[in-house]
Structure 1
Protein backbone atom coordinates (compact mmCIF):
# COMPACT_ATOMS: atom_id res chain seq x y z
CA UNK A 1 0.00 0.00 0.00
CA UNK A 2 1.33 3.44 -0.92
CA UNK A 3 1.81 6.01 1.81
CA UNK A 4 -0.21 9.21 1.64
CA UNK A 5 1.30 12.56 2.49
CA UNK A 6 -1.49 13.75 4.77
CA UNK A 7 -0.07 17.26 4.82
CA UNK A 8 -1.18 17.94 1.24
CA UNK A 9 -4.72 18.95 0.30
CA UNK A 10 -5.14 17.45 -3.17
CA UNK A 11 -6.26 14.32 -4.95
CA UNK A 12 -9.57 12.84 -6.00
CA UNK A 13 -12.01 10.87 -3.83
CA UNK A 14 -14.15 8.25 -5.58
CA UNK A 15 -16.92 6.38 -3.73
CA UNK A 16 -18.90 3.57 -5.37
CA UNK A 17 -19.11 -0.03 -6.47
CA UNK A 18 -16.63 -2.56 -7.87
CA UNK A 19 -17.74 -5.36 -10.19
CA UNK A 20 -16.69 -7.70 -12.95
CA UNK A 21 -17.72 -6.52 -16.43
CA UNK A 22 -18.60 -9.18 -19.00
CA UNK A 23 -19.08 -7.61 -22.43
CA UNK A 24 -20.69 -9.85 -25.06
CA UNK A 25 -20.75 -8.45 -28.60
CA UNK A 26 -22.72 -10.49 -31.12
CA UNK A 27 -21.27 -10.97 -34.59
CA UNK A 28 -24.81 -10.90 -35.95
CA UNK A 29 -28.32 -10.45 -34.56
CA UNK A 30 -28.93 -12.75 -31.57
CA UNK A 31 -31.39 -15.58 -32.06
CA UNK A 32 -33.28 -17.21 -29.22
CA UNK A 33 -32.69 -20.93 -28.68
CA UNK A 34 -29.53 -20.78 -30.81
CA UNK A 35 -25.81 -20.76 -30.02
CA UNK A 36 -24.86 -17.20 -30.95
CA UNK A 37 -21.26 -16.43 -31.93
CA UNK A 38 -19.89 -13.44 -30.07
CA UNK A 39 -16.79 -11.60 -28.92
CA UNK A 40 -16.52 -11.78 -25.12
CA UNK A 41 -14.38 -9.36 -23.10
CA UNK A 42 -13.98 -9.73 -19.33
CA UNK A 43 -12.59 -6.88 -17.23
CA UNK A 44 -12.94 -5.19 -13.86
CA UNK A 45 -15.80 -2.70 -13.74
CA UNK A 46 -18.40 -0.73 -11.85
CA UNK A 47 -18.86 2.92 -12.81
CA UNK A 48 -16.97 4.45 -9.89
CA UNK A 49 -14.30 1.74 -10.06
CA UNK A 50 -13.79 2.69 -13.70
CA UNK A 51 -13.49 6.37 -12.80
CA UNK A 52 -10.86 5.54 -10.16
CA UNK A 53 -8.94 3.30 -12.59
CA UNK A 54 -9.05 5.97 -15.29
CA UNK A 55 -7.90 8.67 -12.88
CA UNK A 56 -4.98 6.40 -12.03
CA UNK A 57 -4.12 6.13 -15.74
CA UNK A 58 -4.19 9.92 -15.90
CA UNK A 59 -1.71 10.19 -13.03
CA UNK A 60 -4.13 11.62 -10.47
CA UNK A 61 -3.74 10.77 -6.81
CA UNK A 62 -6.93 8.79 -6.35
CA UNK A 63 -8.62 7.53 -3.18
CA UNK A 64 -11.20 4.86 -3.96
CA UNK A 65 -13.73 3.63 -1.41
CA UNK A 66 -15.78 0.55 -2.26
CA UNK A 67 -17.04 -2.77 -0.92
CA UNK A 68 -15.24 -5.81 -2.26
CA UNK A 69 -16.30 -9.42 -2.75
CA UNK A 70 -14.73 -12.16 -0.63
CA UNK A 71 -13.23 -14.01 -3.57
CA UNK A 72 -10.25 -13.96 -5.89
CA UNK A 73 -11.94 -11.36 -8.11
CA UNK A 74 -12.34 -8.93 -5.21
CA UNK A 75 -8.67 -9.26 -4.27
CA UNK A 76 -7.63 -8.89 -7.92
CA UNK A 77 -9.62 -5.65 -8.27
CA UNK A 78 -7.81 -4.16 -5.27
CA UNK A 79 -4.39 -5.29 -6.51
CA UNK A 80 -5.04 -3.94 -10.00
CA UNK A 81 -6.04 -0.50 -8.72
CA UNK A 82 -3.01 -0.30 -6.45
CA UNK A 83 -0.78 -0.67 -9.50
CA UNK A 84 -2.11 2.75 -10.53
CA UNK A 85 -1.85 5.84 -8.34
CA UNK A 86 -4.86 4.56 -6.36
CA UNK A 87 -5.27 4.20 -2.62
CA UNK A 88 -7.99 1.63 -1.93
CA UNK A 89 -10.25 1.47 1.14
CA UNK A 90 -13.33 -0.48 2.11
CA UNK A 91 -14.70 -3.60 3.74
CA UNK A 92 -14.95 -7.11 2.32
CA UNK A 93 -18.50 -8.39 1.84
CA UNK A 94 -19.11 -12.07 2.50
CA UNK A 95 -20.35 -12.65 -1.05
CA UNK A 96 -18.88 -13.15 -4.50
CA UNK A 97 -17.94 -10.07 -6.50
CA UNK A 98 -20.97 -8.82 -8.46
CA UNK A 99 -21.05 -9.20 -12.24
CA UNK A 100 -22.35 -6.75 -14.85
CA UNK A 101 -23.18 -8.27 -18.23
CA UNK A 102 -23.61 -6.22 -21.38
CA UNK A 103 -24.89 -8.26 -24.33
CA UNK A 104 -25.37 -6.42 -27.60
CA UNK A 105 -25.87 -7.20 -31.27
CA UNK A 106 -26.20 -4.86 -34.27
CA UNK A 107 -29.82 -4.09 -33.33
CA UNK A 108 -30.15 -4.02 -29.54
CA UNK A 109 -28.49 -4.31 -26.16
CA UNK A 110 -29.36 -6.18 -22.97
CA UNK A 111 -27.84 -5.47 -19.57
CA UNK A 112 -27.75 -7.58 -16.39
CA UNK A 113 -26.30 -7.02 -12.92
CA UNK A 114 -25.94 -9.38 -9.96
CA UNK A 115 -25.16 -6.63 -7.43
CA UNK A 116 -26.75 -6.99 -4.00
CA UNK A 117 -27.64 -4.21 -1.51
CA UNK A 118 -24.71 -5.29 0.68
CA UNK A 119 -22.32 -3.78 -1.87
CA UNK A 120 -23.92 -0.32 -1.67
CA UNK A 121 -23.39 2.32 1.01
CA UNK A 122 -26.32 2.94 3.38
CA UNK A 123 -27.08 5.09 6.41
CA UNK A 124 -24.67 7.04 8.59
CA UNK A 125 -22.86 4.10 10.15
CA UNK A 126 -20.56 3.30 7.22
CA UNK A 127 -16.92 3.18 8.30
CA UNK A 128 -15.30 5.37 5.64
CA UNK A 129 -11.86 7.05 5.87
CA UNK A 130 -13.46 10.49 6.14
CA UNK A 131 -10.21 12.07 7.32
CA UNK A 132 -8.56 11.07 4.04
CA UNK A 133 -11.52 11.98 1.84
CA UNK A 134 -11.74 15.42 3.44
CA UNK A 135 -8.18 16.13 2.25
CA UNK A 136 -9.16 15.57 -1.40
CA UNK A 137 -9.94 18.66 -3.43
CA UNK A 138 -12.50 16.84 -5.59
CA UNK A 139 -14.81 13.92 -4.97
CA UNK A 140 -17.33 11.94 -6.99
CA UNK A 141 -19.95 9.32 -6.18
CA UNK A 142 -23.04 7.67 -7.64
CA UNK A 143 -24.42 6.30 -4.36
CA UNK A 144 -28.04 7.28 -3.70
CA UNK A 145 -28.90 6.65 -0.06
CA UNK A 146 -29.89 10.08 1.33
CA UNK A 147 -28.63 9.48 4.87
CA UNK A 148 -25.29 8.17 3.65
CA UNK A 149 -24.85 11.14 1.32
CA UNK A 150 -25.78 13.62 4.05
CA UNK A 151 -23.14 12.08 6.31
CA UNK A 152 -20.51 11.98 3.57
CA UNK A 153 -21.04 15.63 2.66
CA UNK A 154 -21.12 16.78 6.28
CA UNK A 155 -17.85 15.03 7.14
CA UNK A 156 -15.95 16.26 4.06
CA UNK A 157 -16.93 19.95 3.86
CA UNK A 158 -13.75 21.07 2.06
CA UNK A 159 -14.14 18.58 -0.79
CA UNK A 160 -15.93 19.70 -3.96
CA UNK A 161 -18.31 16.81 -4.67
CA UNK A 162 -19.78 15.75 -8.02
CA UNK A 163 -22.82 13.50 -8.30
CA UNK A 164 -22.99 11.06 -11.20
CA UNK A 165 -25.74 9.15 -12.96
CA UNK A 166 -28.93 10.84 -11.77
CA UNK A 167 -30.20 13.75 -9.71
CA UNK A 168 -29.12 13.54 -6.04
CA UNK A 169 -31.64 13.66 -3.21
CA UNK A 170 -33.40 17.02 -2.92
CA UNK A 171 -32.17 17.58 0.65
CA UNK A 172 -28.52 17.53 -0.49
CA UNK A 173 -28.73 19.67 -3.64
CA UNK A 174 -27.02 22.73 -2.16
CA UNK A 175 -23.97 20.66 -1.18
CA UNK A 176 -22.96 19.48 -4.67
CA UNK A 177 -20.53 21.35 -6.88
CA UNK A 178 -21.84 19.67 -10.01
CA UNK A 179 -23.99 16.91 -11.48
CA UNK A 180 -23.10 14.79 -14.52
CA UNK A 181 -25.70 12.60 -16.19
CA UNK A 182 -26.61 11.42 -19.67
CA UNK A 183 -29.50 12.48 -21.85
CA UNK A 184 -31.74 9.55 -20.85
CA UNK A 185 -31.13 10.12 -17.13
CA UNK A 186 -31.92 13.83 -17.43
CA UNK A 187 -35.03 13.14 -19.51
CA UNK A 188 -36.28 10.65 -16.91
CA UNK A 189 -35.94 13.32 -14.23
CA UNK A 190 -37.36 16.21 -16.27
CA UNK A 191 -40.37 14.35 -17.66
CA UNK A 192 -42.35 16.69 -19.90
CA UNK A 193 -40.25 19.72 -18.91
CA UNK A 194 -37.40 20.62 -21.34
CA UNK A 195 -34.03 19.39 -20.07
CA UNK A 196 -32.49 22.85 -19.94
CA UNK A 197 -35.41 24.25 -17.97
CA UNK A 198 -35.27 21.41 -15.44
CA UNK A 199 -31.51 21.88 -15.11
CA UNK A 200 -31.84 25.62 -14.49
CA UNK A 201 -34.34 24.91 -11.69
CA UNK A 202 -31.77 22.63 -10.04
CA UNK A 203 -29.05 25.27 -10.33
CA UNK A 204 -31.22 27.71 -8.40
CA UNK A 205 -31.14 25.23 -5.51
CA UNK A 206 -27.37 25.53 -5.11
CA UNK A 207 -25.62 23.31 -7.68
CA UNK A 208 -22.90 25.26 -9.54
CA UNK A 209 -23.16 23.42 -12.87
CA UNK A 210 -24.81 20.49 -14.62
CA UNK A 211 -23.35 18.50 -17.51
CA UNK A 212 -25.58 16.42 -19.78
CA UNK A 213 -23.71 13.98 -22.03
CA UNK A 214 -25.29 13.42 -25.44
CA UNK A 215 -23.42 10.42 -26.90
CA UNK A 216 -22.28 11.22 -30.46
CA UNK A 217 -23.72 14.73 -30.10
CA UNK A 218 -21.17 15.70 -27.43
CA UNK A 219 -22.31 17.35 -24.20
CA UNK A 220 -24.05 20.37 -22.71
CA UNK A 221 -22.67 22.47 -19.87
CA UNK A 222 -25.48 24.31 -18.07
CA UNK A 223 -24.82 27.10 -15.59
CA UNK A 224 -26.86 30.08 -14.46
CA UNK A 225 -24.99 32.06 -17.11
CA UNK A 226 -26.37 29.91 -19.93
CA UNK A 227 -26.00 26.71 -21.92
CA UNK A 228 -22.78 25.83 -23.74
CA UNK A 229 -22.70 22.93 -26.25
CA UNK A 230 -19.57 20.86 -26.88
CA UNK A 231 -19.02 18.62 -29.89
CA UNK A 232 -17.88 15.01 -29.52
CA UNK A 233 -14.26 14.52 -30.56
CA UNK A 234 -14.72 11.19 -32.32
CA UNK A 235 -17.39 8.56 -32.93
CA UNK A 236 -16.87 4.87 -32.17
CA UNK A 237 -18.50 1.49 -31.84
CA UNK A 238 -18.10 0.75 -28.12
CA UNK A 239 -20.06 3.12 -25.84
CA UNK A 240 -19.69 1.04 -22.65
CA UNK A 241 -17.52 2.95 -20.19
CA UNK A 242 -17.44 6.19 -22.17
CA UNK A 243 -19.34 8.05 -19.46
CA UNK A 244 -16.84 6.89 -16.85
CA UNK A 245 -13.95 8.00 -19.06
CA UNK A 246 -15.69 11.36 -19.52
CA UNK A 247 -15.84 11.78 -15.73
CA UNK A 248 -12.15 11.00 -15.29
CA UNK A 249 -11.20 13.48 -18.01
CA UNK A 250 -13.40 16.07 -16.33
CA UNK A 251 -11.61 15.47 -13.03
CA UNK A 252 -8.26 15.79 -14.79
CA UNK A 253 -9.20 19.32 -15.84
CA UNK A 254 -10.67 20.24 -12.48
CA UNK A 255 -7.60 19.09 -10.54
CA UNK A 256 -5.52 21.38 -12.75
CA UNK A 257 -7.64 24.29 -11.48
CA UNK A 258 -9.15 24.92 -14.90
CA UNK A 259 -12.56 26.62 -15.07
CA UNK A 260 -15.36 24.17 -15.71
CA UNK A 261 -15.80 25.57 -19.24
CA UNK A 262 -12.35 24.21 -20.16
CA UNK A 263 -12.69 20.86 -18.41
CA UNK A 264 -15.10 19.33 -20.92
CA UNK A 265 -12.33 19.19 -23.54
CA UNK A 266 -10.23 16.55 -21.71
CA UNK A 267 -13.49 14.83 -20.70
CA UNK A 268 -14.59 14.40 -24.32
CA UNK A 269 -11.07 13.40 -25.36
CA UNK A 270 -11.09 10.61 -22.76
CA UNK A 271 -14.53 9.43 -23.88
CA UNK A 272 -13.34 9.32 -27.51
CA UNK A 273 -10.49 6.98 -26.56
CA UNK A 274 -12.75 4.47 -24.79
CA UNK A 275 -15.24 4.57 -27.69
CA UNK A 276 -12.63 2.73 -29.77
CA UNK A 277 -12.25 -0.18 -27.29
CA UNK A 278 -14.61 -3.16 -26.70
CA UNK A 279 -14.02 -2.98 -22.92
CA UNK A 280 -14.98 -0.18 -20.55
CA UNK A 281 -11.33 0.44 -19.58
CA UNK A 282 -8.41 1.52 -21.74
CA UNK A 283 -4.76 2.00 -20.84
CA UNK A 284 -4.61 4.45 -23.76
CA UNK A 285 -6.05 7.12 -21.47
CA UNK A 286 -2.48 7.65 -20.28
CA UNK A 287 -2.02 9.58 -23.56
CA UNK A 288 -3.87 12.45 -21.87
CA UNK A 289 -1.67 12.41 -18.78
CA UNK A 290 0.04 15.80 -18.42
CA UNK A 291 3.79 15.74 -18.93
CA UNK A 292 6.03 16.76 -16.07
CA UNK A 293 9.11 18.90 -16.56
CA UNK A 294 11.30 15.83 -15.99
CA UNK A 295 9.68 13.76 -18.74
CA UNK A 296 11.15 13.74 -22.27
CA UNK A 297 9.26 15.80 -24.85
Structure 2
Protein backbone atom coordinates (compact mmCIF):
# COMPACT_ATOMS: atom_id res chain seq x y z
CA UNK A 1 0.00 0.00 0.00
CA UNK A 2 1.16 3.57 -0.69
CA UNK A 3 2.52 5.68 2.16
CA UNK A 4 0.55 8.83 2.88
CA UNK A 5 2.29 12.19 2.74
CA UNK A 6 1.23 13.50 6.16
CA UNK A 7 2.13 17.06 5.21
CA UNK A 8 -0.78 17.09 2.72
CA UNK A 9 -4.15 17.55 4.45
CA UNK A 10 -6.53 17.79 1.51
CA UNK A 11 -7.65 14.18 1.18
CA UNK A 12 -11.15 12.72 1.03
CA UNK A 13 -12.46 10.32 3.70
CA UNK A 14 -15.23 7.96 2.54
CA UNK A 15 -16.98 5.67 5.05
CA UNK A 16 -19.53 3.04 4.05
CA UNK A 17 -20.23 -0.43 2.72
CA UNK A 18 -18.59 -2.58 0.05
CA UNK A 19 -20.68 -5.02 -1.98
CA UNK A 20 -20.92 -6.99 -5.20
CA UNK A 21 -23.40 -5.48 -7.68
CA UNK A 22 -25.34 -7.78 -9.98
CA UNK A 23 -27.22 -5.73 -12.57
CA UNK A 24 -29.84 -7.58 -14.62
CA UNK A 25 -31.18 -5.64 -17.63
CA UNK A 26 -34.16 -7.38 -19.19
CA UNK A 27 -34.41 -7.21 -22.99
CA UNK A 28 -38.20 -7.13 -22.90
CA UNK A 29 -40.87 -6.39 -20.32
CA UNK A 30 -40.07 -8.37 -17.16
CA UNK A 31 -42.61 -11.06 -16.29
CA UNK A 32 -42.93 -13.08 -13.09
CA UNK A 33 -42.69 -16.88 -13.17
CA UNK A 34 -40.98 -17.06 -16.54
CA UNK A 35 -37.41 -17.02 -17.81
CA UNK A 36 -36.59 -13.39 -18.73
CA UNK A 37 -33.79 -12.91 -21.23
CA UNK A 38 -31.38 -10.30 -19.92
CA UNK A 39 -27.97 -8.70 -20.01
CA UNK A 40 -26.14 -9.33 -16.73
CA UNK A 41 -23.33 -7.08 -15.51
CA UNK A 42 -21.25 -7.83 -12.41
CA UNK A 43 -19.14 -5.17 -10.69
CA UNK A 44 -18.00 -4.12 -7.25
CA UNK A 45 -20.45 -1.80 -5.55
CA UNK A 46 -21.91 -0.20 -2.47
CA UNK A 47 -22.66 3.52 -2.64
CA UNK A 48 -19.66 4.74 -0.62
CA UNK A 49 -17.40 2.17 -2.27
CA UNK A 50 -18.45 3.63 -5.61
CA UNK A 51 -17.73 7.16 -4.42
CA UNK A 52 -14.24 6.09 -3.26
CA UNK A 53 -13.54 4.29 -6.54
CA UNK A 54 -14.74 7.28 -8.55
CA UNK A 55 -12.64 9.69 -6.50
CA UNK A 56 -9.67 7.45 -7.29
CA UNK A 57 -10.49 7.72 -11.01
CA UNK A 58 -10.55 11.49 -10.57
CA UNK A 59 -7.06 11.48 -9.08
CA UNK A 60 -8.10 12.49 -5.56
CA UNK A 61 -6.26 11.22 -2.50
CA UNK A 62 -9.00 9.00 -1.09
CA UNK A 63 -9.19 7.16 2.24
CA UNK A 64 -11.88 4.49 2.19
CA UNK A 65 -13.07 2.91 5.44
CA UNK A 66 -15.34 -0.12 5.15
CA UNK A 67 -15.99 -3.64 6.43
CA UNK A 68 -14.97 -6.36 4.01
CA UNK A 69 -16.20 -9.92 3.51
CA UNK A 70 -13.89 -12.81 4.33
CA UNK A 71 -13.89 -14.21 0.80
CA UNK A 72 -12.17 -13.73 -2.54
CA UNK A 73 -14.57 -10.92 -3.44
CA UNK A 74 -13.66 -8.92 -0.35
CA UNK A 75 -9.96 -9.23 -1.16
CA UNK A 76 -10.58 -8.34 -4.81
CA UNK A 77 -12.46 -5.17 -3.79
CA UNK A 78 -9.51 -4.05 -1.68
CA UNK A 79 -7.00 -4.82 -4.43
CA UNK A 80 -9.02 -2.96 -7.06
CA UNK A 81 -9.33 0.16 -4.91
CA UNK A 82 -5.62 0.16 -4.19
CA UNK A 83 -4.93 0.34 -7.92
CA UNK A 84 -6.52 3.81 -7.76
CA UNK A 85 -5.33 6.61 -5.48
CA UNK A 86 -7.16 4.89 -2.59
CA UNK A 87 -5.92 4.01 0.88
CA UNK A 88 -8.11 1.22 2.29
CA UNK A 89 -8.86 0.57 5.97
CA UNK A 90 -11.28 -1.62 7.86
CA UNK A 91 -11.93 -4.95 9.51
CA UNK A 92 -12.80 -8.22 7.83
CA UNK A 93 -16.22 -9.66 8.70
CA UNK A 94 -16.54 -13.42 9.01
CA UNK A 95 -19.17 -13.58 6.25
CA UNK A 96 -19.26 -13.49 2.48
CA UNK A 97 -19.32 -10.11 0.77
CA UNK A 98 -22.90 -8.77 0.54
CA UNK A 99 -24.61 -8.74 -2.86
CA UNK A 100 -26.87 -6.06 -4.33
CA UNK A 101 -29.14 -7.22 -7.16
CA UNK A 102 -30.92 -4.85 -9.52
CA UNK A 103 -33.34 -6.42 -12.00
CA UNK A 104 -35.13 -4.00 -14.33
CA UNK A 105 -36.79 -3.44 -17.68
CA UNK A 106 -37.66 -0.14 -19.35
CA UNK A 107 -40.50 0.59 -16.93
CA UNK A 108 -39.88 -1.08 -13.58
CA UNK A 109 -37.24 -2.56 -11.34
CA UNK A 110 -36.73 -4.99 -8.47
CA UNK A 111 -33.91 -4.54 -5.96
CA UNK A 112 -32.42 -6.94 -3.42
CA UNK A 113 -29.58 -6.70 -0.90
CA UNK A 114 -28.02 -9.41 1.27
CA UNK A 115 -26.21 -6.98 3.58
CA UNK A 116 -26.16 -7.87 7.29
CA UNK A 117 -25.81 -5.50 10.30
CA UNK A 118 -22.26 -6.74 10.82
CA UNK A 119 -21.19 -4.77 7.73
CA UNK A 120 -22.49 -1.45 9.10
CA UNK A 121 -20.60 0.86 11.45
CA UNK A 122 -22.31 0.97 14.82
CA UNK A 123 -21.46 2.17 18.31
CA UNK A 124 -18.26 4.05 19.08
CA UNK A 125 -16.12 2.09 16.56
CA UNK A 126 -12.91 2.88 18.42
CA UNK A 127 -10.82 0.85 15.97
CA UNK A 128 -11.31 3.27 13.05
CA UNK A 129 -8.23 5.22 11.86
CA UNK A 130 -9.46 8.54 13.25
CA UNK A 131 -5.96 10.03 13.11
CA UNK A 132 -6.02 9.57 9.32
CA UNK A 133 -9.63 10.67 8.85
CA UNK A 134 -9.05 13.86 10.84
CA UNK A 135 -6.32 14.89 8.38
CA UNK A 136 -8.80 14.86 5.47
CA UNK A 137 -10.27 18.17 4.36
CA UNK A 138 -13.58 16.51 3.36
CA UNK A 139 -15.45 13.42 4.44
CA UNK A 140 -18.61 11.68 3.30
CA UNK A 141 -20.68 8.85 4.74
CA UNK A 142 -24.12 7.27 4.54
CA UNK A 143 -23.92 5.41 7.86
CA UNK A 144 -26.85 6.18 10.17
CA UNK A 145 -26.09 4.84 13.66
CA UNK A 146 -26.29 7.89 16.00
CA UNK A 147 -23.61 6.59 18.41
CA UNK A 148 -21.18 5.98 15.55
CA UNK A 149 -21.83 9.39 14.01
CA UNK A 150 -21.41 11.15 17.36
CA UNK A 151 -18.00 9.53 17.82
CA UNK A 152 -16.93 10.15 14.24
CA UNK A 153 -17.86 13.83 14.26
CA UNK A 154 -16.32 14.50 17.67
CA UNK A 155 -12.98 12.95 16.67
CA UNK A 156 -12.65 14.66 13.28
CA UNK A 157 -13.46 18.27 14.06
CA UNK A 158 -11.35 19.74 11.24
CA UNK A 159 -12.96 17.58 8.54
CA UNK A 160 -15.95 19.03 6.72
CA UNK A 161 -18.54 16.26 6.47
CA UNK A 162 -21.23 15.47 3.91
CA UNK A 163 -24.11 13.11 4.64
CA UNK A 164 -25.58 11.12 1.75
CA UNK A 165 -28.72 9.10 1.14
CA UNK A 166 -31.09 10.47 3.76
CA UNK A 167 -31.33 13.13 6.44
CA UNK A 168 -28.89 12.46 9.32
CA UNK A 169 -30.02 12.15 12.94
CA UNK A 170 -31.44 15.40 14.31
CA UNK A 171 -28.87 15.67 17.10
CA UNK A 172 -26.00 15.80 14.60
CA UNK A 173 -27.39 18.30 12.08
CA UNK A 174 -25.21 21.24 13.13
CA UNK A 175 -22.08 19.15 12.49
CA UNK A 176 -22.68 18.56 8.77
CA UNK A 177 -21.36 20.87 6.07
CA UNK A 178 -23.85 19.52 3.56
CA UNK A 179 -26.47 16.89 2.79
CA UNK A 180 -27.05 15.23 -0.59
CA UNK A 181 -30.31 13.35 -1.17
CA UNK A 182 -32.41 12.40 -4.16
CA UNK A 183 -35.99 13.52 -4.75
CA UNK A 184 -37.56 10.42 -3.16
CA UNK A 185 -35.33 10.61 -0.08
CA UNK A 186 -36.14 14.28 0.43
CA UNK A 187 -39.87 13.71 -0.01
CA UNK A 188 -39.75 10.86 2.52
CA UNK A 189 -38.28 13.27 5.06
CA UNK A 190 -40.41 16.28 4.18
CA UNK A 191 -43.79 14.51 4.13
CA UNK A 192 -46.49 17.04 3.28
CA UNK A 193 -44.02 19.94 3.43
CA UNK A 194 -42.55 21.11 0.07
CA UNK A 195 -39.02 19.83 -0.51
CA UNK A 196 -37.40 23.24 -0.67
CA UNK A 197 -39.11 24.38 2.51
CA UNK A 198 -37.93 21.27 4.38
CA UNK A 199 -34.40 21.84 3.07
CA UNK A 200 -34.47 25.44 4.26
CA UNK A 201 -35.45 24.22 7.73
CA UNK A 202 -32.33 22.03 7.80
CA UNK A 203 -30.17 25.08 7.09
CA UNK A 204 -31.58 26.78 10.17
CA UNK A 205 -30.34 23.81 12.22
CA UNK A 206 -26.74 24.29 11.14
CA UNK A 207 -26.31 22.62 7.75
CA UNK A 208 -24.56 24.91 5.24
CA UNK A 209 -26.23 23.55 2.11
CA UNK A 210 -28.57 20.83 0.85
CA UNK A 211 -28.46 19.31 -2.63
CA UNK A 212 -31.49 17.45 -4.00
CA UNK A 213 -30.79 15.40 -7.12
CA UNK A 214 -33.67 15.17 -9.58
CA UNK A 215 -32.69 12.44 -12.07
CA UNK A 216 -33.18 13.74 -15.63
CA UNK A 217 -34.19 17.15 -14.23
CA UNK A 218 -30.74 17.85 -12.80
CA UNK A 219 -30.37 19.05 -9.21
CA UNK A 220 -31.36 21.76 -6.75
CA UNK A 221 -28.87 23.55 -4.50
CA UNK A 222 -30.47 25.03 -1.39
CA UNK A 223 -28.48 27.57 0.63
CA UNK A 224 -29.38 30.52 2.84
CA UNK A 225 -28.98 32.68 -0.28
CA UNK A 226 -31.77 30.83 -2.05
CA UNK A 227 -32.61 27.87 -4.28
CA UNK A 228 -30.64 27.36 -7.48
CA UNK A 229 -31.63 24.78 -10.14
CA UNK A 230 -29.00 23.04 -12.26
CA UNK A 231 -30.08 21.25 -15.46
CA UNK A 232 -28.83 17.74 -16.21
CA UNK A 233 -26.03 17.74 -18.78
CA UNK A 234 -27.13 14.57 -20.58
CA UNK A 235 -29.81 11.90 -20.45
CA UNK A 236 -28.95 8.21 -20.39
CA UNK A 237 -30.38 4.73 -20.08
CA UNK A 238 -28.46 3.49 -17.01
CA UNK A 239 -29.26 5.44 -13.81
CA UNK A 240 -27.64 2.93 -11.41
CA UNK A 241 -24.60 4.57 -9.85
CA UNK A 242 -25.06 8.03 -11.32
CA UNK A 243 -25.82 9.42 -7.86
CA UNK A 244 -22.50 8.05 -6.58
CA UNK A 245 -20.74 9.58 -9.58
CA UNK A 246 -22.47 12.88 -8.79
CA UNK A 247 -21.01 12.76 -5.27
CA UNK A 248 -17.49 12.10 -6.53
CA UNK A 249 -17.71 15.01 -8.99
CA UNK A 250 -18.98 17.20 -6.16
CA UNK A 251 -15.98 16.19 -4.03
CA UNK A 252 -13.68 16.97 -6.95
CA UNK A 253 -14.91 20.55 -6.97
CA UNK A 254 -14.85 20.90 -3.19
CA UNK A 255 -11.29 19.54 -2.98
CA UNK A 256 -10.25 22.34 -5.35
CA UNK A 257 -11.69 24.90 -2.90
CA UNK A 258 -14.42 25.94 -5.30
CA UNK A 259 -17.57 27.51 -3.81
CA UNK A 260 -20.41 25.04 -3.59
CA UNK A 261 -22.28 26.88 -6.39
CA UNK A 262 -19.52 25.83 -8.83
CA UNK A 263 -19.16 22.25 -7.59
CA UNK A 264 -22.40 21.01 -9.09
CA UNK A 265 -20.98 21.39 -12.59
CA UNK A 266 -18.35 18.59 -12.21
CA UNK A 267 -20.93 16.62 -10.21
CA UNK A 268 -23.44 16.64 -13.06
CA UNK A 269 -20.68 15.96 -15.59
CA UNK A 270 -19.67 12.82 -13.68
CA UNK A 271 -23.30 11.67 -13.43
CA UNK A 272 -23.75 12.15 -17.19
CA UNK A 273 -20.80 9.82 -17.89
CA UNK A 274 -22.12 6.99 -15.70
CA UNK A 275 -25.61 7.32 -17.19
CA UNK A 276 -24.17 5.93 -20.42
CA UNK A 277 -22.80 2.74 -18.80
CA UNK A 278 -24.73 -0.40 -17.69
CA UNK A 279 -22.57 -0.72 -14.55
CA UNK A 280 -22.35 1.71 -11.63
CA UNK A 281 -18.63 2.36 -12.22
CA UNK A 282 -16.90 3.89 -15.22
CA UNK A 283 -13.21 4.41 -15.89
CA UNK A 284 -14.27 7.27 -18.19
CA UNK A 285 -14.56 9.53 -15.15
CA UNK A 286 -10.82 10.07 -15.50
CA UNK A 287 -11.77 12.47 -18.32
CA UNK A 288 -12.74 14.98 -15.64
CA UNK A 289 -9.31 15.00 -14.02
CA UNK A 290 -7.63 18.37 -13.80
CA UNK A 291 -3.85 18.98 -14.04
CA UNK A 292 -3.85 19.73 -10.31
CA UNK A 293 -5.44 16.42 -9.32
CA UNK A 294 -3.20 14.14 -7.28
CA UNK A 295 -1.48 11.58 -9.51
CA UNK A 296 0.48 9.77 -6.80
CA UNK A 297 0.29 6.00 -6.89
Partners of 2:292 and 2:257 in 1: CA distance:
16
**Equivalent position of 2:43 in the other structure:** 43
1:252-273 CA distance string (max 9 Å, x none)? 0000000000000000000000
1:166-194 CA distance string (max 9 Å, x none)? 00000000000000000000000000000
**Equivalent position of 2:223 in the other structure:** 223
Partners of 2:125 and 2:265 in 1: CA distance:
38
SS in 2 for 1:55: helix
**Equivalent position of 1:69 in the other structure:** 69
SS in 1 for 2:112: strand
**Equivalent position of 1:124 in the other structure:** 124
1:41-66 CA distance string (max 9 Å, x none)? 00000000000000000000000000
Displacement of 1:143: 0.1
**Equivalent position of 2:237 in the other structure:** 237
Aligned length: 294
**Equivalent position of 1:269 in the other structure:** 269
SS in 1 for 2:162: strand
**Equivalent position of 2:145 in the other structure:** 145
Displacement of 1:126: 4.0
Partners of 1:81 and 1:191 in 2: CA distance:
38
1:11-57 CA distance string (max 9 Å, x none)? 10000000000000000011222111000000000000000000000
Counterparts of 1:80-159 in structure 2, within 5 Å, are 80-159=80-159
Q: Do residues 15 (structure 1) and 5 (structure 2) align?
A: no
Partners of 1:122 and 1:98 in 2: CA distance:
17
SS in 2 for 1:153: helix
For the aligned residue pairs, the C-alpha RMSD in angstroms reads 1.1
**Equivalent position of 1:248 in the other structure:** 248
Displacement of 1:125: 3.3
Q: Do residues 194 (structure 1) and 191 (structure 2) align?
A: no
Moved more, 266-275 or 283-292: 283-292
Displacement of 1:10: 1.2
**Equivalent position of 1:213 in the other structure:** 213
SS in 2 for 1:81: helix
Q: Normalized against structure 1, the TM-score is what?
A: 0.98
Partners of 1:199 and 1:268 in 2: CA distance:
20
Partners of 1:147 and 1:81 in 2: CA distance:
28
Dislocated runs of 4+, deviation >3 Å: none
Moved more, 123-132 or 242-251: 123-132
Displacement of 1:5: 1.1
Counterparts of 1:169-180 in structure 2, within 5 Å, are 169-180=169-180
Q: Normalized against structure 2, the TM-score is what?
A: 0.98
Displacement of 1:9: 1.1
**Equivalent position of 1:30 in the other structure:** 30
1:90-113 CA distance string (max 9 Å, x none)? 000000000000000122000000
**Equivalent position of 2:168 in the other structure:** 168
**Equivalent position of 1:57 in the other structure:** 57
Moved more, 27-36 or 164-173: 27-36
Displacement of 1:292: 4.7
Partners of 1:244 and 1:2 in 2: CA distance:
25
1:190-229 CA distance string (max 9 Å, x none)? 0000001111111000000000000000000000110000
Q: Which runs of 5 or more residues in structure 2 are unaligned?
A: none
